[in-house]
Each structure stands twice: as structure tokens, then as C-alpha cells.
Amino acid sequence: MSLPIKDILDHLHINDINHAFSTGTQWGSSDNAVTKDIVSPTDGKKIAAVKFATADEYNTVVETAKKAFKTWRQIPAPKRGEIVRQIGDSLRENKKQLGTLVSYEMGKSLQEGYGEVQEMIDICDFAVGLSRQLYGLTMHSERPEHRMYEQYHPLGIVGVISAFNFPVAVWSWNAMLAWVCGDVCIWKPSEKTPLTAIACQHIAQEVFKRNNIDEGVSCLVIGDRNIGELMSNDTRVPLVSATGSTRMGKAVSAAVGARLGKSLLELGGNNAIIITENADLDMSLIGAVFGAVGTAGQRCTSTRRLIIHESVYEAFKQKLISAYGQIKIGDPLNENNHMGPLIDQDAVSLYLDSIEKCKAEGGKFVVEGGKLEGEAYSSGCYVKPCIAEVENHYKIVQHETFAPILYLIKYADLDEAIELQNGVPQGLSSAIMTNNLREAERFLSYAGSDCGIANVNIGTSGAEIGGAFGGEKETGGGRESGSDAWKVYMRRQTNTINYSKTLPLAQGIKFDL
């Protein structure tokens, strides 16, 4: 590690946490606020303590954001984009420090921490261009001397509930697009990784302050699920974007839907790679291993299942076993290590329980798992990545386990493989490894993958900013980041202008007075 953690915390203003919320330059918390220690899964050491916001403090933030929206929406979109551009520049300047903190607080490898900050920079660049492209459409009216068109207006307050595994990137996917669309944001980060959120709030707010932007455009509320429930039930928040488990997403969807609000849900994945008899096995190996062990299997896009053609099954299994024997596990700030810890000891317990459930259903482990012991793993959060031969219908295989457990499934023909790929409740990311054009096109057709993301000759993990990110079924149906994902942050309005001297009615209806 090139910089001591203390220097990084000081640089990012994480040296003395006495606040539970921020509306911008204003930070605050009650004297009797609940305090939580934030402990790094890397070494088990306390990084800092944070305070949780109360319901009254949440209400203060919402009212401030509500007021700020009235002025922020009046700033021309390209001017809002210019502010986002400056935020991107500030993230570039702080990439090393923020990326290191992401790695240390969450446990992902240092390169992945840097990569997450780079995603933030990339979405800023995308949003800057978008600020001049918030297009509507012009339609021909059936009435003479009439013009019809549609335009988009900002919604208001966007609530962002983010998860621990991407503690800053997913917020930026939402916030940068929402800001150029004219919305204001209230961010409730995961209670497991709030320090990186505090750092981002400082970075963004310095830019807003330089540009003389009112309080309330960028807000932060630290808390547990109670804050998420308040936000989900709050009619003052027209859109809630929530990333996390399917269980959490269903609760958010029910609460927001009950008040006829809008929700953007990015939930669980149970992602598979189909490896055909026509696949490049060496290339497939890289995609499979990185997808399975990257971020210690704690990505929504992590590879959970490998569906392998029977003709190459044994050969590829041996390649996997050999590759797993070379994986280096340890301190994620050491760039020589491939895999860091799970987020906490509760995650370790779930991992171990899933292994036992797999064995009870008949799973055969060809690479054994388990918890790692010793001084290098003193935090108690390090585990072994493991591989099991299973059947797709096993209950544990149908469930998303946020850990480095990879399931191997054998298939005979492509239609069977696609059916296996689709035969889980989740529908986020999928991939096929093949050099056969017909196999690739079949996988991408209406009769192929039912996921929101379908790749050919790359793995399930990772996403580029330019494309819309999200999935179907129990993944929630939301779309974030690229393409036309910006439309969810705005309300659509159809306009008709009559520039004639009469008032003809649609469909030729006569109404003479």
C-alpha cells in the first residue's frame, strides 16, 4: 500500500465522524444518535465510527432537498452537466485515495477499488454528453395546423439506496444522471460501507460550493433499514433506486408501489456461462475464474454457474481445478493477491451454511471450501473459493449466495443449456463461450437468454457505462447507467399546440355550440 490509511482518511475528510447526515456543507446529528463502529474486513481493525440519522433528521434532509429542487431544475441542463464534469475531474484527482478506501472498507482488491472509481469518472463523462441530449420526439397531428411533441421534465427528489459491494459506483450511476436531468438526490449508503459515501459527499459538495449551488442538491443520510423504509414510504420522493437483495427489493417495491411512486430495482443475480464444445477453453477459463472469485463472489454479476458441454466437461473441470490452486488470497491492498475477504463474519457464516446445504442435496465438491485461519486472516472474513458439481434444480443452486461458490452443470445440446441458464428465478447477466456463429446468435435471440445482459465470449461480470445495466425476473427489471436509462429519472409530457384559427377535435368529433 502506497499511502497509510490514516493519511487517506485525512485526505478524504474521514478523520472525525460526528455526523449522521449532510445536506451539502451542512452536517449534523443528534446528541443521542446510535453509533456504529466501521471495521475493515481486511484486517479487522476499526476504521472509524459513524452515527445513524433519526427520523426527524431524515425529514430535515428531505425538506432541504425539496426546496433545492425548485432552483436546481431551473439551471439549464448543459450547465448542470458542467458541474458534473467538474465532479468527474475531482474524482480523477482523488482516484487513488478513494479507490484505496473502497478496497480497505469493503475488501475488494485494490485494482477493483480503482476500477470502481473509474466507473464513477466514466459515468460523469457520459452524463456530461447526455446533458445536451435529453431529447423528446415530434409527432404529426391528425388535425391541421397542429403540432405534437413530447418533452421530459425532472421528477424531483431521487432516493438512492446502495449496497456494500459497489459502495460508490452505483450511487454515481444514479446521481450523475439524475443531476443532469434536473433532479436532486438523497443517498442512503449501506450501513456496512458508509465511509466511502461520506468521502464522495465531500468531493461532490466541494464542487457544488464552488459553483454557488444551494444546499440540498446532494444529500447523504447514514442509517440502517429504518431510513430505507422511511424513504420507500415517502410521497415526497417520487423515485427510489434500490440496489441489494431480492428480499429487500420486494419490500421497497411494495412500499413505493402502494403510493404509486416509481422504483428502479437492481437486485440479485444467478449468472451462468455456457461453455460449448466450440469454445476457446483457455479464454473461457479466464472469464469463468475472474467472474467467480472477483470481489470474492460478492458482485450481482458474479459467475455462479458454469453450464459445460459434456464433450469438454472433464477437460475444463481439470483446468478450473488447476487454476483455483493458483489463486492468491489475502490483503486486498496487496496487488499480488487475486481475492480479498468477504464483507463480514455474517457473510462467512452464510457461505459455510451454503456449502453444507449443497452437500446435503448431493453436491460433489471438486475444490473444497472453508474458512481460512491464521495471522494473515485475523479478521475472520477470509474464505476459500470452491467448486461443486451439482444439478440446476438444487434449492441452493436456485438461490444467490454472495460468496465464491461456483457450480458446475453438464449439458448435451444447446437448447438444454439455454433452458438451464434460464431456469433460475433471477435474470441479470449471462454469457456463452463459443466460436460458432449459429450458437452465439441462438443465445442472443428471443429463444435464448432471458437475462438483461447477454454476452458472447466474455464473462458475466463487469459492465460498460455506455450500455443500460439491469436484469429481468427477480433481478427487478431496472436499468441504470447507459443507453436511455436517463428516462427513468424524468417524467414524460405530451404537448399539442394549435396554431390555427379554429378548434378541431380529434377523431373528427363534432361539438357545435
* Three cell numbers written together for 2: 502506497
Query: For the chain, what is the radius of gyration of the CA atoms?
Result: 24
Closest CA to 309 of 453, 425, 400, 436: 436
| CATH number of the structural domain spanning residue 277 | 3.40.309.10
Average pLDDT over residues 309-337: 97
Average pLDDT over residues 263-273: 97
Closest CA to 278 of 441, 87, 102: 441
Are residues 244 and 277 both part of a single domain? no
Instruction: List the catalytic residue out of 57, 215, 266, 400.
Output: 266
- What is the pLDDT, as a whole number, of residue 2? 54
* Three cell numbers written together for 157: 427528489
User: 474-485, pLDDT tens digit by residue?
Assistant: 999 999 999 999
Give residue 127's pLDDT band: very low, low, confident or very high (50, 70, 90): very high
- What is the pLDDT, as a whole number, of residue 77? 98
Structural domain includes residue 261? yes
User: 46-86, pLDDT tens digit by residue?
Assistant: 999 999 999 999 999 999 999 999 999 999 999 999 999 99
Containing H/E element for 512?
none
Q: Is 416 a catalytic residue?
A: no
- What is the pLDDT, as a whole number, of residue 230? 98
**3-class SS shares of the chain: helix, strand, coil, % to 5:** 40, 20, 40
Are residues 276 and 246 both part of a single domain? no
User: Cβ contacts of residue 309 below 8 Å, gap of 6+?
Assistant: 275, 276, 277, 279, 410, 411, 412, 417
How many CB atoms are located within 10 Å of the residue 318 CB? Answer: 11
Q: Which amino acid is at 72?
A: W
Structural domain includes residue 512? no
Are residues 46 and 106 both part of a single domain? yes
Structural domain includes residue 508? no
Average pLDDT over residues 483-494: 98
Structural domain includes residue 504? no
User: 162-182, pLDDT tens digit by residue?
Assistant: 999 999 999 999 999 999 999
| CATH number of the structural domain spanning residue 11 | 3.40.605.10
Are residues 457 and 489 both part of a single domain? no
Are residues 204 and 279 both part of a single domain? no
* Three-class secondary structure of residue 118 per DSSP: helix
- What is the pLDDT, as a whole number, of residue 1? 44
* Three cell numbers written together for 476: 427487478
Phi, psi at 353, each rounded to 5°: -65, -40
Are residues 253 and 285 both part of a single domain? no
pTM to 2 decimal places: 0.96
Distance CA 225, CA 250 (A): 14
Structural domain includes residue 254? yes
Structural domain includes residue 431? yes
Are residues 332 and 393 both part of a single domain? yes
Are residues 229 and 278 both part of a single domain? no
Q: Which residue has the higher pLDDT, 388 or 507?
A: 388
153 lies in which domain range? 5-267+476-493
Are residues 152 and 246 both part of a single domain? yes
Structural domain includes residue 349? yes
Cα 311 to chain center, whole Å?
36
Average pLDDT over residues 272-294: 98
- What is the pLDDT, as a whole number, of residue 16? 61
- What is the pLDDT, as a whole number, of residue 504? 87
First CA to last CA across the chain, in angstroms?
82
- What is the pLDDT, as a whole number, of residue 3? 66
Containing H/E element for 170?
helix 169-180
Distance CA 243, CA 192 (A): 14
Residue 385 has pLDDT above 60, yes or no: yes
Structural domain includes residue 502? no
C-alpha separations of 319 from 230, 258, 288, 326 in Å: 49, 51, 11, 11
Q: Which amino acid is at 399?
A: H
* Three-class secondary structure of residue 142 per DSSP: coil
Partners of 408 in beta bridges: 306, 389
Distance CA 448, CA 455 (A): 11
* Three-class secondary structure of residue 188 per DSSP: strand
Phi, psi at 396, each rounded to 5°: -70, -30
Q: Please, what's the b/e burial string for 261-277 (b: 16 or more CB within 10 A of its CB; e: otherwise)?
A: bbbbbbbbbbbbbbbbe
Burial of 251 per CB tally in 10 Å (0-12, 13-18, 19+): middle
Are residues 119 and 226 both part of a single domain? yes
Structural domains in the chain (count): 2
To the nearest whole percent, how much of the chain has pLDDT over 70? 99
Distance CA 229, CA 70 (A): 25
User: Cβ contacts of residue 126 below 8 Å, gap of 6+?
Assistant: 176, 465, 466, 481, 482
Average pLDDT over residues 346-359: 98
Average pLDDT over residues 128-157: 96
User: 253-263, pLDDT tens digit by residue?
Assistant: 999 999 999 99
Distance CA 20, CA 194 (A): 10
Mean pLDDT estimate for the chain: 96
Containing H/E element for 444?
helix 437-444
Are residues 258 and 282 both part of a single domain? no
Are residues 157 and 187 both part of a single domain? yes
Give residue 18's pLDDT band: very low, low, confident or very high (50, 70, 90): confident
Is the alpha carbon torsion for 2, 6, 11, 13 positive or negative?
Answer: positive
Which ranges constitute the DSSP H helices of 223-371? 225-232, 246-258, 281-293, 313-324, 345-361
Distance CA 462, CA 213 (A): 34
